[in-house]
Structure 1
Amino acid sequence: MISINIYNDDCIEVMSRLENGSIDLILTDPPYNLGNFMKNRDTNLGKMRKNFFGDAGWDDMDFKEWEESMNRFFDKSSNVIKTGGSMIIFMSILKVETLIKIAETHGFYYKTTGIWHKTNPMPRNMNIQFVNSTEAWLYFVYKKRTGTFNNDGAMYHDFIETSVTSNGERRYGKHPTQKPEILMSHFIDLLSNPGETILDPFMGSGTTGVAAKKLDRNFIGIEIDECYFKIAKSRINEDKQA
């Protein structure tokens, strides 16, 4: 019987209470520190989407504040993850080098930077520039060079292509940076085994938890925003009943 534990709290506080070396895979999508940057860009995104992340307020840190928050995150992650455990963290490509430097100071071995390509991105500014259709993700292993990788002899590229999150996955409410279930399932399948424990410290609307539950993994999710936490709880509870 797998366990699901979700918390409406600050991730640093909750991770401080988790058992050391209890997590097999950290799969998460933290703030990209782009809120203020995007507000100063010549973009029509705010007009096209009411829940634009740049207006949400949770991505408005200055760079030094964001950098310190990521340093605290990796510090706590290094306590709770097992030796040989893996981490996938989504991030703006503008911040990749900074994140790698922080991760390495806490014992995380950098494996690769990959790309998620959205096959049907929002066509913002399509008549004046290239449409933004990609996001980066980084792959780390803690204290080892290689962790679990269930490829069964197949070759997996560091390029993943899916559609954006469907309306069906948003029926309990919308999160401005919600990832599709198929994307999170891809990493859970490859980098963990049934019965192991997945942690998402920036749970958002709960996609990682839904995917982990369906793939017979234990799940710990943390989300500080009460509105998004309620969405995640509804989604994961529905999957419990499915």
Structure 2
Amino acid sequence: MERLLGKKQQYFYENPSAQIILGDSFQVLSKMKPESIDMIFADPPYFLSNDGITCKGGRMVSVNKGEWDRIGEEATHISDKHRFNRKWIKLCKRVMKPDGSIWISGTLHNIYSIGMALEQEGFKIINNITWQKTNPPPNLTCSCFTHSTETILWAQKADKKSRHYFNYELMKEQNDGKQIKDVWVGSLTKPSEKKAGKHPTQKPEYLLERIIQASTQRGDIVLDPFCGSGTTGVVANRFGRVFIGIDTEEDYLNITKARLEMGLNDKYGFE
């Protein structure tokens, strides 16, 4: 597997189909080979850690996820958040191939900033996917409707010469011969996908299966700049794609490593 960061880069973990890096995404992305990535999936911080409470497994728990999910004080929160989003999206554009594409997941707390940042940094939004969760946690305040959806934006470079890849025939085949709509319905992450450890915002594998199969081909390079517990990498390897993941939290990368190794033992993707 080609080292897109040079021989001096210390990888947290490597195998023939994956590289995971412990470090700041801004620094790592700035050193990565330009126009080397076919597809990016990003689940950036939602900045929800505000000392509030939520419901999980029928119990009231803190919404705080870690220092990585905090930014600024109230007075500067909005501008700091948008500056953060523009910066990492700009760096992703630098490493993405002209015909590549990027998928970004978020909630109402950050997705509007991300949509604006994409356009400001020279991207064209292809689709606005609504992920409808069949088993969302209840709303404890009883002051608004239950939050049961997340948005996933799919975008390409706005250059007129850019032509994103879309496996239309496969998507139609997987949907009984019908076009798939932009509302995807499914459950939260299953306990069986958390055997190696838990991450507070872990995405279910079925979401990444659709995303990766729809917008990449076998052998393509998939990057996740906030890879957390590694769902993107597990699925990418399962379908024969090469994975590069970055995260600042060593505990989460240990989960990623364990999940990737379990995938190799199952002989997914690569021989």
Per the normalisation by structure 1, the TM-score is 0.89
Cα distance between partner residues in 1 of 2:86 and 2:126: 19
Partner of 2:199: 175
Partner of 1:21: 35
Aligned AA for 2:119? Answer: E
Aligned counterpart for 1:211 among listed residues 225, 235, 256: 235
Deviation at 1:146, TM superposition (A): 4.3
Question: Deviation digits for residues 174-195 of structure 1, max 9, x if unmatched?
Answer: 1111000111111000011111
Which structure shows the higher helix fraction?
Answer: 1
Following superposition of structure 1 onto structure 2, how do residues 182-193 of structure 1 map, counting pairs within 5 Å? 182-193=206-217
Question: Deviation digits for residues 3-22 of structure 1, max 9, x if unmatched?
Answer: 21111111111112211111
Give ranges in structure 1 of 5+ residues lacking alignment: none
Q: Is the 8 A contact 1:31 1:58 kept in 2?
A: yes
Secondary structure in 2 aligned to 1:58? helix
Cα distance between partner residues in 2 of 1:127 and 1:104: 35
RMSD value over aligned CA atoms?
2.2
Cα distance between partner residues in 1 of 2:239 and 2:147: 31
Cα distance between partner residues in 2 of 1:106 and 1:99: 10
The count of residues paired between Structure 1 and Structure 2 equals 237
Q: 98-107 or 24-33: which moved more? A: 98-107
**Structure 1 residues 55 and 207: alpha-carbon distance in aligned structure 2, compared to 1, 3 A threshold:** closer
Partner of 2:104: 89
Q: Is the 8 A contact 2:47 2:109 kept in 1?
A: no
Secondary structure in 1 aligned to 2:67? coil
Runs of at least 4 residues off by over 4 Å? 126-129
Cα distance between partner residues in 2 of 1:67 and 1:174: 28
Secondary structure in 2 aligned to 1:138? strand
Alignment of 1:11 onto 2:25: yes
Secondary structure in 1 aligned to 2:198? coil
Question: Deviation digits for residues 40-75 of structure 1, max 9, x if unmatched?
Answer: 5xx54388365x552423211122222222111011
Aligned AA for 1:132? Answer: H
**Structure 1 residues 44 and 77: alpha-carbon distance in aligned structure 2, compared to 1, 3 A threshold:** closer
Q: Is the 8 A contact 1:33 1:63 kept in 2?
A: no
Aligned AA for 2:214? Answer: L
Aligned counterpart for 2:130 among listed residues 98, 115, 140: 115
Cα distance between partner residues in 2 of 1:146 and 1:161: 28
Partner of 1:66: 81
Deviation at 1:129, TM superposition (A): 4.6
Q: Percent identity?
A: 33
Q: Is the 8 A contact 1:53 1:176 kept in 2?
A: no
**Structure 1 residues 127 and 224: alpha-carbon distance in aligned structure 2, compared to 1, 3 A threshold:** same
Deviation at 1:100, TM superposition (A): 2.1
Deviation at 1:130, TM superposition (A): 2.9
RCO (CA 8 Å, sep 6+): is it higher in 1 or 2? Answer: 1
Cα distance between partner residues in 1 of 2:215 and 2:188: 22
Deviation at 1:122, TM superposition (A): 2.2
Secondary structure in 1 aligned to 2:168? coil
Per the normalisation by structure 2, the TM-score is 0.80
Cα distance between partner residues in 1 of 2:35 and 2:65: 37
Cα distance between partner residues in 2 of 1:119 and 1:203: 24
Cα distance between partner residues in 2 of 1:118 and 1:98: 22
